[in-house]
Chains A and B, each alone.
Chain A
Amino acid sequence: MSRDAYITLITSLPYAGELFAVSQTPISRIQLEARLSFLTPEDATQLQAIEGLLWWSSHSHEASDAEIAVKTKRLLGELENEWLRQLIRQRMEFRTLVAALRRRRRGESAADLNADWGFGRWLGVIHRNWSEPGFSLERAFPWVLEANRLLREEDHLGLERLLLGEQWRTLDQQGEGHYFDFEAVVAYVLKWGIMERWSSYHGEGAVRRFENVLDDAVGEYVQMFA
């Protein structure tokens, strides 16, 4: 697909806007898929492979860390576009750091980590600095101390907000200079995924609230007929 052919696709996608300012994605998945049909089969396959790796929902619950690490290395070997390779490396390193924070919070020690528990260049640093709040990675990941604090305080929503915000910011940075090309399409689709995830939290909250209200209402009748 020539570079200019992406112009129609990119302009047909609605503005992504600000992550936390929206309560739903600017375009439904069905509509997004319809717009992505402008892609060539090669580009579509590549995008599918990237989504398959970076979206948790596409992994089976039984998939081990080692399997995901192998999948990552395989995809990095297949991709020729350095921008895409860098995007995947950064995202997987980000996830490795978050996984390390969660594992430590769960009470695991550095000795519990097996060889394939994560991915990227920071594995050794994390292992050596397991007892440090930010694994001595504050310079590379300025958000790590804040994430550690939110995890310690069990502020799950705050943590999710921080992590999604960071991913969004990284995609914004990486997308600079890419306006009408495949990289811009990939960045948009990944941003859509982040928005979809954030808006689904609102949905889950609404369901929970609805269930609570329902329980309260039914509870009164249960007492009435008891």
Chain B
Amino acid sequence: MNEFVMALGWVGIYGPMALGAIGSVIGCALAGQAAIGAMIETESGHGRYVGISAMPSSQVIYGIVVMFTLNRAVTPEAAAGMFGIGLLCGLALMFSAIYQGRSCAAAINAAKAKPEIFGLSLAPAAIVEGFAVFAFVFALVLSADLPGVK
């Protein structure tokens, strides 16, 4: 039983990084496809389309920070908490990256048709980013209470 709980602890450590990376991969790919489509259609502004398509990459960075924060001696006392915080934070980061990618794709499509709404069209993606930041910050806050800081 102890081994299983310890294994969950390791999942909790690596989870935020891995799930954040999966989310960022999908999110950046979705927005990147939109950027490529927009580049076919437009003659200028290609740089900003590529820039928007990189927005969902922040989740993997948050995941890395949470991973290092949770990285401590895996003990039966701390493992369950590490698993809970790491996995749930990772899932939040993954889904936020995927849906941010969709928001970015829609923003690129809209900004291509109406360049004047470029800034405003990014608002939904920024709001999604805000939720990812919540998941990130509170994972850091809660992990401080776990036993066994290195």
Contact = CB atoms under 8 A, between A and B. Distances in A.
Interface of A: 4-5, 7-15, 35, 179-180
A180 B38 contact: no
B33 A4 contact: yes
B100 to A, nearest CB: 14
B150 interface: no
B41 A13 contact: yes
Nearest to B40: A12
Interface string B49-78: 000000000000000000000000000000
| Secondary structure of the A contact surface, majority rule | helix
Contact of A11 (B29, B102, B108): B108
> Which 4 pairs, one residue from A and one from B, show the smallest C-beta to C-beta distance?
A11-B37, A15-B113, A12-B37, A8-B37
A7 B114 contact: no
A136 B40 CA distance: 49
Contact of B30 (A7, A9, A12, A35): A7
Contact count band on B: 10 to 19
Contacts of A12: 36-38, 40-41
B106 interface: yes
A7 to B, nearest CB: 4
A9 B40 CA distance: 9
A110 to B, nearest CB: 47
B82 interface: no
B8 interface: no
A7 B37 contact: yes
A204 to B, nearest CB: 29
B34, B102, B108 — most chain A CB neighbours (10 Å): B34
Nearest to B113: A15
| Secondary structure of the B contact surface, majority rule | helix
Given A11-B41, A11-B112, A13-B41, 6 more contacts: A4-B33, A7-B37, A8-B34, A11-B37, A12-B38, A12-B40
A179 B105 CA distance: 10
A188 to B, nearest CB: 12
Contacts of B38: 11-12
A7, A14, A180 — most chain B CB neighbours (10 Å): A7
A167 B98 CA distance: 35
A12 B34 CA distance: 8
Contacts of B121: none
A65 to B, nearest CB: 39
A11 B109 contact: yes
Contacts of B113: 14-15
Nearest to B29: A4
Contacts of A179: 106, 109
Contact of A180 (B36, B105, B112): B105
Nearest to B102: A180
13 contacts: A4-B30, A5-B33, A8-B34, A8-B37, A11-B35, A11-B41, A11-B105, A11-B108, A12-B38, A12-B40, A15-B112, A15-B114, A179-B106
Interface in B11-56: 29-30, 33-38, 40-41
Given A14-B113, A15-B112, A7 B41 contact: no
